[in-house]
Amino acid sequence: MNSADNTFPEAFLQQLARQLDSKEREALLTALNEEPPVSIRFNPYKMASKPEGHGVPWNRYGFYLSERPLFTLDPLLHAGVYYVQEASSMFVEYLYRETIGDRQGVRLLDLCAAPGGKTTLYSTLAGAEGIVVANEVIRNRATILADNVRRWGIGNVAVTSNDTSRFAALGNLFDVVAVDAPCSGEGMFRKNPTARREWSPENVSLCAARQKRILSDAWEALKPGGILIYSTCTFNRAEDEEQIAWLAANFDCEPADITPPPAEWGIETGETEGIRTFRFWPHRVHGEGFFATAIRKAEGKHRSKLPKTAREPIAELPKNEVRILGRWVGQPDYMHFAGIGDLRYGFYEAGYDFVKTLAGPLNMLYSGVCMGKLFGGTLRPDHALALFHDLSREPVHEAEVTEENALDYLRKQELHDLSPLTEGLNLLSYQGVPLGWAKRIGARINSLLPNGMRIVNV
């Protein structure tokens, strides 16, 4: 092995020796010391045509970039036009399409969802008829997840922060449960030096034990006949194939019918207990290390244990408020407007009852589209409404701004050019895509951008 081997833990190298021959190990270790590829996934609800560039073969929305720009200074990122996502992890779309296809009304639980890369992808796939419940047990990470869901702006996601056991207790509610499990992170060694420094066999064992607990809860939340999508960003079998073998030995698993991807993609296809598995090695694919599989739950008796609770945070609204809110979206007939405290929200009609039912027993941070607050007959719109893909452009003046003005707004600084804005409330847009709200009062601009979503120190 070459000198690059010294930068890796010895136990990790010994593990690789059991998985790869010497030539493959050399190629992998070399790749893990190189710069990772840069990829993005565009939002088809906000971008009418595909961007130019080399597409990620296993994801129709993914594209590689020739170099890494300063994403923070691109207003389109803040507008939810695209998401910066590692290419290999986009493979979950392939598994979803192979197992779910174009089925409508899918209820999907993303159990380890922050920061939101896969959640926003699942949101795209589920569409207006489906619902994605995105859970993150760590509260500050759940807040970041909610911000990314707002930016993405499809409106079919409920963000929760609960232990996974809460979902198991509710019974078999979901058609798909996705577990992108917390792991030892071997596949991210070149992207995240901390993962390399903190790796140890003991940490692998801890991760594997945690994964079993999460998978057990995930299985309880899954409907009979439903699909579990399991993934990690690590190479070792203890967190990958051995987890699948454990599932097969302890639960009613069935292989899902998945077409092997084309050989030219470079993905290693394997099989564990009859269940097809997929591994991404960074020296073989244009992406990071990744492992994924999809497993079908055998048909059986459906169990639902939704508890009766006096807590009903989502309230119905009077007809006059519904009419006012309906003016702010392009297709109000598809929406159900409701209240949570003094805020007004819009939900797709197809998912509303399900979200309302879950809001009682679960700690729900965000759901649907926050419309804003009503004062008399006037809506003070929330930032999330500006980023909703079906926002109506009719209620207020839309001010198209330059890149310089867009960045001023995103920093909550004074705009260089006030001429595009009219007196009163304005919707600021950049390249035709809404960025947020601003109120002009004479020669002064009152930015309505939330402080937590502004650009800081860049």
Ranges assigned E (strand) in 59-189: 62-65, 82-84, 107-110, 131-135, 157-160, 174-180
Closest CA to 204 of 230, 247, 238: 238
Q: Is the four-CA dihedral 232, 237, 239, 240 of positive or negative sign? A: positive
Measured at the CA of 208, the angle between CA 202 and CA 210, to 5 degrees, comes to: 105
Select which of 112, 183, 207, 233 is catalytic.
233
What does the chain come to in residues? Answer: 458
Return the CA Rg of the chain: 23
Task: Please give the Cα distance from 415 to 457 (Å, whole number).
Answer: 17
Q: Is 370 a catalytic residue?
A: no
Reference 413, options 444, 382, 379; nearest CA is 444
10 Å Cβ neighbour count for 443? 7
Q: Of 252, 368, 353, 366, which Cα lies nearest the Cα of 306?
A: 353
Q: Which of 406, 404, 412, 410 is nearest to 432 (CA)?
A: 406
Distance, CA of 43 to CA of 65 (rounded, Å)? 16
Question: CA 443 to CA 417: how far, in whole Å?
Answer: 10
- Quick count: other Cβ atoms within 10 Å of Cβ 252? 13
What is the residue-wise DSSP string for 160-212?
E---HHHHHHHBS-EEEEEEE-----GGGTTT-HHHHHH--HHHHHHHHHHHH
Catalytic residue positions, numbered = 233
